[in-house]
A and B are shown apart, each in its own frame.
Chain A
Amino acid sequence: MKIFSGVFKKVALFTLFLIPMLSTLSFGQNISVTATVDKNRLTLEDVLQLSIVIQGTQNTPPPELPSLPDFRITSAGTSSSTQYINTQRSVSITYNYRLTPMNTGTIVIGSARVRANGKTYSTQPITIEVLKPSKRQSAESKAAFAEATLSSKKAYIGEQLVYTFRLFHRVEAKNLDLKLPFDKIWFDKEELGEPNAYIKVVNGLQYHVQELSIALFPLKKGRLKIPAAIIELDLLHKTQNRSRQDPFSRFFGRRTQAEHKILRSQPISIEVLPLPDGAPKGFKNLIGQFRISAEVGKRDLEVGDTTTLTVTVSGQGNVRDISFEEPDLRNYFKIYPDKPEFSQTVQNNQIRGEKVFKFALVPLEAGNRTLPKFSMAYFDSANAQYRITETRPISLTIRPSSIKEELNLVQSGQQNLPMVKPEIETLGTDILPIYTELDKFQNNGSYSSAFIAAGFGSPVVLFIISAFLIKRQNRMKYDMAFYRRRNAYKNASQRLKQISEHSDLSAPKEFARELSEILREYIGDKLNLQGKAITAEEVEARLKESHYEPGQAEGTRRLLEKCETLQYAPMTRGSTKELLGESEKMIKVLEKQS
């Protein structure tokens, strides 16, 4: 048993030695977590840097910070490092936080917890002392300080107050972050423009001043405290770190050192008073100083003309809340309101502005009219009493309309007409009577298809006829061959008639020559040839070419030869008549064939 107990002890000792060795080998390093701060004593103007360093691993979730109601915490990033010392690798990660103290006193920063490799590691608590800023220093040589002022410590509900925050700094200030303390339940606020920057001497020291003003309108009565405004900033201090003997140090030796500061203004107490009783009729929570004015575009106008009534309310206070109801002039004018125009300026940190109400007035009746005074009730906060500002009456001369036409203006359905037409009550309904005019009772039996066909077809037919006639007329005008062919028979007939009536049959040679000419001209017109110049054989040939019957062509040739023969041979009276008749017959035959 002793042998066994001796061996057991050795194994146990070996195991005790081996376990840490194995753990080191398996996890590389021991994990340790430490929390550090950059200082243990600070003022409300300072910022505390809290660093939580986790050694042995870099793969951890962010630390769980303890509850710190006395600080405002902002993350300042993380940093990690890896080191090799004698082949030993060590890693760490640092989580940085910026803690802004909100209260003075001794404050304990509790343990922060870190979870790594399934274990939870905790830091040691740290005790911090937060002091008030040194008054001596602020009064004398502070690099920067802040202050806030209120235009009045006592105000009525709705009265305009001006809250002014000023930052005084002697060194360059960067990364300004201002947090104003207003509660929406207590105040309605309105910006008063961009911040002002100027230089001011305080206790003989020159400061740069950044000034921001805000208009505040109290919403509730009571005594309240406006908390301090907080501004965070970086002050850039310039330091000289090189020897004064170094000639370059004058130019290159200055170094800038940033100091993160939190500056607070003093809280301000204010008493908000309710508005006193006795508000006049028409008072609509206007608080400040206001005046009202009115003017019209034209004072002399006709019925139906338009003039513009402009009512301007201007002043200092809650100008945005100004409202003006449409004047009651409906018995004499039609009124068309325009959209109010609003403008606002900031003068001496006070909101001033005006609201312009315009109404188009159209007179309904002729006569001299006086627009009544328009008034506006407000509470004069400076003198703590209600006041009424009013316009002067405005006289208008309205002449009858020069246009003899009934005024017929369109008016919005939302507006009430001065003379509302009484609604006629329906007492009963019935059908409308029968028709008795006999001309209405023509039988409307359907149209026959012949009528419809004629109605649609006849214009087409008439058009075709017209088109044919027009085309023919155009051809007669421009186609000479067509013209000659169409008029050949007519001309020949006329000339044959003339020759039979007027020619001297006692001169047979002349008669035969003229007859031959008529025949040749007829054939020339028909065939578009120079008829007088062609021979009888040519006439026959041309007629045959033009598809005349060969017999007729030959007959024509013979007739022409006969005429030529007779011009040189004696003729009797009877033979001339026979020749004339033969020619007429021949022309008719040819005409039929053409």
Chain B
Amino acid sequence: MKHALAFFLFLVLTLSTSLPTEASDYLNEIVRANGLYAEKHYAESAQAYESLIDKGVQNGYLYYNLGNAYIRMGKTGPAVLNYVRALKWIPRDENLEANLKFAIQQTRDKIELPPPGTLNVLLFWVHDLNFHELVVFTIGLNIIFWVNLALWMYFPFLKVVRNALLCFLFLSFVSIGVKIKNESDLKLGVVLAENVEVKSGRAGDAVTLFQLHEGALVTVTGKHDNWLEIRLNDEQKGWVPQNSLGT
């Protein structure tokens, strides 16, 4: 029994203390990119940030800084795209919110982020927490719940706490489910081309329904070959070439 306990503790500690490799190189590259930005070498700075992202680094502040670099370069499309990507990681960041708003104002179409659905309004915290935070919170709650369950066998008065924790745990799992659904269903796309014609079908000679401009925010609802189905609202939807949109 003692061996089993020790094994699990080891497993948990081992898994939870895993750190990214080559951390110092990564941080040095960040310092370099930030320095380029400070020296107003925005293109080089953006390139440095992009190279880190290409290496698989996923960090909200990195996307934010990249968005800033693109804004400075006058590229509102990539700027909006990277701010939207940053939202996934740092949804509560006020600077990000302000800069995204600024970037949208710079676009010609000035399309705001789609409003949250009913479920997201009810589970408002889902929007304010990123997926990792939700998972860590749920794991923490899970541990507390099981510890409480064990204690409840000794102390029956903990029944109320047990039930409350069970409810919270259930809600946390639902929140994770909603988050996963949001990130898979509501895929946002940003027009990167200066001007894109939204077609009625997946062909260049299809009827042009409407035009969008760089930085316009759309919801990507489908993909077929090299075409993406996009939607602005219930009435305005169509197809655009995949290379004209960043997701």
Q: Report the minimum CB–CB distance from B176 to chain A (whole Å).
A: 10
Q: Report the minimum CB–CB distance from A229 to chain B (whole Å).
A: 68
State A431–B106 Cα separation when bound (angstroms). Answer: 11
- Proximity string of chain A (437-452) to chain B, C-beta cutoff 8 Å, 1 when within and 0 when not: 0101111111110111
- Kindly state whether residue B113 has any CB partner on chain A within 8 Å: no
State A430–B12 Cα separation when bound (angstroms). Answer: 46
- Proximity string of chain B (13-46) to chain A, C-beta cutoff 8 Å, 1 when within and 0 when not: 0011010100100110011001001000000000
State A482–B146 Cα separation when bound (angstroms). Answer: 28
Query: Are A434 and B65 in contact (CB-based, < 8 A)?
Result: yes
- Kindly state whether residue A469 has any CB partner on chain B within 8 Å: yes
Stretch at the interface among B149-157, B203-211, B218-226, B228-236: B149-157
Q: Return the chain B residue nearest A463 by Cβ.
A: B146
Kindly identify which residue among A440, A448, A462 contacts B8, using a CB–CB cutoff of 8 Å: A462
Stretch at the interface among B114-122, B135-143, B191-199, B237-245: B135-143
Q: A462-B8, A463-B149 are in contact. Are A435 and B65 (CB under 8 A)?
A: yes
Q: Report the minimum CB–CB distance from A100 to chain B (whole Å).
A: 72
State A467–B153 Cα separation when bound (angstroms). Answer: 8
Q: Report the minimum CB–CB distance from A279 to chain B (whole Å).
A: 57
Query: Are A431 and B68 in contact (CB-based, < 8 A)?
Result: yes
Q: Report the minimum CB–CB distance from B156 to chain A (whole Å).
A: 13
Q: Report the minimum CB–CB distance from B93 to chain A (whole Å).
A: 9
Q: A430-B102, A455-B139 are in contact. Are A444 and B89 (CB under 8 A)?
A: yes
Residues in chain B near residue A430, CB distance under 8 A: 102
- Kindly state whether residue A126 has any CB partner on chain B within 8 Å: no
- Kindly state whether residue A108 has any CB partner on chain B within 8 Å: no
Q: Return the chain A residue nearest B140 by Cβ.
A: A455
- Kindly state whether residue B160 has any CB partner on chain A within 8 Å: no
| Overall SS of chain B's interface | helix
Residues in chain B near residue A462, CB distance under 8 A: 5, 8, 146, 150
Q: Report the minimum CB–CB distance from A70 to chain B (whole Å).
A: 74
Kindly identify which residue among A444, A448, A459 contacts B145, using a CB–CB cutoff of 8 Å: A459
Kindly identify which residue among A431, A436, A446 contacts B103, using a CB–CB cutoff of 8 Å: A431
- Kindly state whether residue B180 has any CB partner on chain A within 8 Å: no
**How many residues of chain B get a CB closer than 8 Å to chain A's CBs?**
51
- Kindly state whether residue A456 has any CB partner on chain B within 8 Å: yes
- Kindly state whether residue B99 has any CB partner on chain A within 8 Å: yes
Query: Are A452 and B135 in contact (CB-based, < 8 A)?
Result: yes
Name the interface residues of A454-480: CB closer than 8 Å to any CB of B: 454-456, 458-463, 465-470
**How many residues of chain A get a CB closer than 8 Å to chain B's CBs?**
36
Q: Return the chain A residue nearest B49 by Cβ.
A: A434
Query: Are A443 and B154 in contact (CB-based, < 8 A)?
Result: no
State A435–B94 Cα separation when bound (angstroms). Answer: 12
Name the interface residues of B1-17: CB closer than 8 Å to any CB of A: 1, 4-5, 8, 11-12, 15-16
Query: Are B4 and A438 in contact (CB-based, < 8 A)?
Result: no
State A432–B31 Cα separation when bound (angstroms). Answer: 18
State A77–B59 Cα separation when bound (angstroms). Answer: 97
- Kindly state whether residue B92 has any CB partner on chain A within 8 Å: no
- Kindly state whether residue B168 has any CB partner on chain A within 8 Å: no
- Kindly state whether residue B184 has any CB partner on chain A within 8 Å: no
- Kindly state whether residue B171 has any CB partner on chain A within 8 Å: no
Residues in chain A near residue B59, CB distance under 8 A: 440-444
- Kindly state whether residue A429 has any CB partner on chain B within 8 Å: yes
Q: Report the minimum CB–CB distance from B70 to chain A (whole Å).
A: 10
Q: Report the minimum CB–CB distance from B168 to chain A (whole Å).
A: 15
Residues in chain B near residue A436, CB distance under 8 A: 34
Query: Are B153 and A459 in contact (CB-based, < 8 A)?
Result: no
- Kindly state whether residue A433 has any CB partner on chain B within 8 Å: yes
Kindly identify which residue among A431, A440, A441, A452 contacts B102, using a CB–CB cutoff of 8 Å: A431
Residues in chain A near residue B187, CB distance under 8 A: none
Residues in chain A near residue B12, CB distance under 8 A: 454-455, 458
Q: Return the chain B residue nearest A459 by Cβ.
A: B146
Query: Are A470 and B153 in contact (CB-based, < 8 A)?
Result: yes
Name the interface residues of B43-86: CB closer than 8 Å to any CB of A: 56-62, 64-65, 68-69, 71-72
Query: Are A441 and B58 in contact (CB-based, < 8 A)?
Result: no
Kindly identify which residue among A442, A452, A467 contacts B139, using a CB–CB cutoff of 8 Å: A452
Query: Are A459 and B147 in contact (CB-based, < 8 A)?
Result: yes
Query: Are B64 and A451 in contact (CB-based, < 8 A)?
Result: no
Q: Report the minimum CB–CB distance from B132 to chain A (whole Å).
A: 6
Q: A441-B30, A443-B20, A444-B58 are in contact. Are A463 and B150 (CB under 8 A)?
A: yes
Q: Return the chain B residue nearest A468 by Cβ.
A: B1
Query: Are B68 and A433 in contact (CB-based, < 8 A)?
Result: yes
Q: Report the minimum CB–CB distance from B19 to chain A (whole Å).
A: 9
State A458–B20 Cα separation when bound (angstroms). Answer: 24
Residues in chain A near residue B1, CB distance under 8 A: 465, 468-469
Query: Are A460 and B89 in contact (CB-based, < 8 A)?
Result: no
Residues in chain A near residue B130, CB distance under 8 A: 444
Q: Report the minimum CB–CB distance from B7 to chain A (whole Å).
A: 10
Q: A462-B8, A462-B146, A465-B1 are in contact. Are A435 and B64 (CB under 8 A)?
A: yes
State A470–B31 Cα separation when bound (angstroms). Answer: 54
Residues in chain B near residue A463, CB distance under 8 A: 146-147, 149-150
What are 30 sample pairs from A and B whose C-beta atoms fall under 8 A apart? A431-B103, A434-B64, A435-B61, A436-B34, A438-B27, A438-B30, A441-B27, A441-B59, A441-B62, A443-B59, A444-B89, A447-B132, A447-B135, A448-B15, A451-B15, A451-B16, A454-B8, A454-B12, A454-B15, A456-B142, A458-B8, A458-B12, A459-B143, A463-B147, A465-B4, A465-B5, A466-B150, A467-B153, A470-B153, A470-B154
In the A-B complex, the 3 residue pairs with the smallest Cβ-Cβ separation, listed nearest first, are A459-B146, A455-B139, A434-B65
Other CB < 8 Å A-B pairs besides A435-B64, A443-B58, A468-B1, 7 of them? A429-B105, A432-B98, A435-B95, A443-B26, A444-B89, A454-B15, A462-B8
